[in-house]
Amino acid sequence: MTLSLSSVAASSPSAAVDQGTRIRALAAVLRDAPQADAEVLLAGLARMLDAHIGRGHDDVVSNRRIRDQLDNIELLMALEIERAGVRHTPVPTVSRAA
C-alpha cells in the first residue's frame, strides 16, 4: 500500500484533492478500527515518537526503527482498509491522440 504521491503528481490540483480524500478515508479507517487494532496502531506511533524525540534527523538507528514501525503500521492499515473496503487504486493514464 503506497499512500504518498510523487512530487510531480502532488503538484497538480486534482492530485492534491485525491490525496486529501485518501487522507480523510484513512483517518476514518483509523477512527473506526476495532479497539485491539487501534491499541496496536497507537503503540506503533508511540514507538516512532520515542525513536524520533531528542534525536537528529540523520540518526541512522532511529530512522531504521521509525521505518520498521511504519512498515508494521502500513501492514495493519492494509488489513483495516481491506476490512473497511477503502482502497486506493491508481487511475490509468489515457493517452490522447494529437
Write down the domain spans for the chain: 8-84
Would you call 85 helix, strand, or coil by DSSP? coil
pTM of the model: 0.55
Q: Which residue has the higher pLDDT, 86 or 51?
A: 51
Q: Which residue has the higher pLDDT, 6 or 25?
A: 25
- The model's confidence at residue 5, banded by pLDDT at 50, 70 and 90, is very low
Do residues 47 and 65 make contact, with C-beta atoms less than 8 angstroms apart? Answer: yes
Mean pLDDT within 85-89: 61
Do residues 73 and 46 make contact, with C-beta atoms less than 8 angstroms apart? Answer: no
Q: Across all residues in the chain, what is the average pLDDT?
A: 75
Q: How many CB atoms sit inside 10 A of residue 29's CB? A: 19
Locate 78 and state its grid cell. Answer: 492494509
Residue 8 has pLDDT above 70, yes or no: no
Mean pLDDT within 53-63: 88
